[in-house]
Homo-oligomer: A and B are copies of this chain.
């Protein structure tokens, strides 16, 4: 970025170059950061003093955002008060003003939370879903769990219904701590829902609830690394997933989903965050979708998926950043909703066992040298 007037001459703090700061963060964290990303972190601090809200607004992976805030503290642009609030100093405020940084006006539609979908028609379904979900197993770190809010689950279901991907169709759900399979079946639209899930607790829970309510949902134990059983290859019209966000895990998960689809015109739905995936990773992942999987991306809907807070967050992130050790005040963890569609001429992906060791990389919330060895696999 061009900063036409040297910053030090204008606001009287030590010279600070956003590009150099971005480079320092990249060197420390291994996450590629741009000067504009640093701008966005500063602008997010101008809008909120709560660490987890700042992180959501900044659209930068957690380790890079936290390291940026630490360096901004060192530079005297940001301070943390006794309550853990993160605030701009006078120098920080001057910096925002001089660079006309947008403190991030919020234009989110209050009616739909920015998703663009009216869930009024699904109101009774939402109540039934909450009844079904009451006894759900607690989120576990070892399975990278953390489930969607009820509104987000129903919004995904509405999106599938609106696009004609649910009514009369066969739905594959790959991993389902969100209980999306049950939510989809509650609409009465899908012909059949198959849930493949590694966590025995969820397999039993989903099957119990489906049986009690007479829903066409069947859950089976399955691990991504295994090939998709033959009976489900090219069997489905639609898949849904919420994969861990390493490129390896994304590749394995998409391979399984696409193997399950019948052919051109069939669709896949999944979430991808900016909190655990840099835009550089988005670029690499999208290049994979286009070059290897040969699908078209039909939708990327920002902040569509909101996740309920999970119990292991503060413990799992380590204590490198004291200002991050505050309980979230809001459902801050969000992801973009991707919809992809198979196009004609698609050659198919090979259905084979694939190793998938890397459930976290340097952009993950729980990436940390000390626990890095213990959470994979």
Does A377 have its Cβ within 8 Å of any Cβ on chain B? no
Stretch of A67-75, A296-304, A363-371 at the chain-chain interface? A296-304
Q: A317 in the interface, Cβ–Cβ < 8 Å?
A: no
A301 to B166, CA, bound (A): 20
CB atoms of A167 and B343 under 8 A apart: no
Evaluate contact between B168 and A301: CB separation under 8 angstroms. no
Complex: chain B residue closest to A106, CB-CB: B162
Interface string of A36-52 (1 = CB under 8 A from B): 11011001000000000
The B-contacting residues of A in range 17-49, CB under 8 angstroms, are: 32-37, 39-40, 43
Q: Binary interface profile of A, 310-354, with partner B (CB < 8 Å = 1, else 0)?
A: 000000000000000000000000001000010111000000000
Interface presence of A286 (CB below 8 A): yes
- The answer to whether A109 touches B101, judged by C-beta atoms less than 8 angstroms apart, is no
The reply to whether A291 and B291 form a contact with Cβ atoms under 8 Å apart is yes
Q: Which residues of B contact A279 (CB under 8 A)?
A: 296, 298, 341, 343
- Contact partner of A107 (CB less than 8 A), chosen from B37, B107, B121, B280, is B121
Cα A291 to Cα B288 with chains together (Å): 10
Instruction: Name the one of B191, B266, B290 contacting A36, with C-beta atoms under 8 angstroms.
Output: B266
Cross-chain contact B286 with A286 (CB below 8 angstroms): yes
Q: Any chain B CB within 8 A of the CB of A194?
A: no
Q: Chain B nearest CB: distance from A7 CB in Å?
A: 14
CA distance A50 to B266 in the complex (A): 27
Q: How many residues of A contact B (CB 8 A)?
A: 70
Interface status of A252 (Cβ within 8 A of chain B): no
Contacting pair A164 B116 (CB below 8 A): no
For A264-280 the 0/1 string (1 means CB < 8 A from B) is 11100000000000011
A29 to B: closest C-beta gap in Å: 14
- A300–chain B nearest beta-carbon distance, Å: 5
Complexed CA–CA distance, A344 and B169 (Å):
41
A107, B296: Cβ atoms under 8 Å?
no
Query: At the interface, yes or no: A134 with Cβ under 8 Å from chain B?
Result: no
Pick from A2, A237, A291, A300 the residue with the most CB of B within 10 Å: A300
- Asked if A34 and B344 make an inter-chain contact with CB atoms under 8 angstroms apart, the answer reads yes
Chain B residue contacts of A36, Cβ below 8 A: 164, 264-266
Query: Is A102 touching B298 in the complex (CB atoms < 8 A)?
Result: no
With an 8 A cutoff between CB atoms, is A105 at the interface? yes
- Of B35, B108, B117, B283, the residue contacting A114 (CB under 8 A) is B117
User: Does A1 make an interface contact (CB < 8 A)?
Assistant: yes
Contact with B along A50-70 (1 / 0, CB 8 A): 000000000000000000000
Would A111 and B112 be within 8 Å (CB), given that A265-B1, A290-B291 are in contact?
yes
A161 within 8 A of B: yes
Which residues does A use to contact B, with CB under 8 Å?
1-2, 32-37, 39-40, 43, 99-102, 104-112, 114-119, 121, 158-159, 161-162, 164, 166-169, 189, 191, 237, 262-266, 279-280, 282-283, 286-287, 290-291, 294-302, 336, 341, 343-345
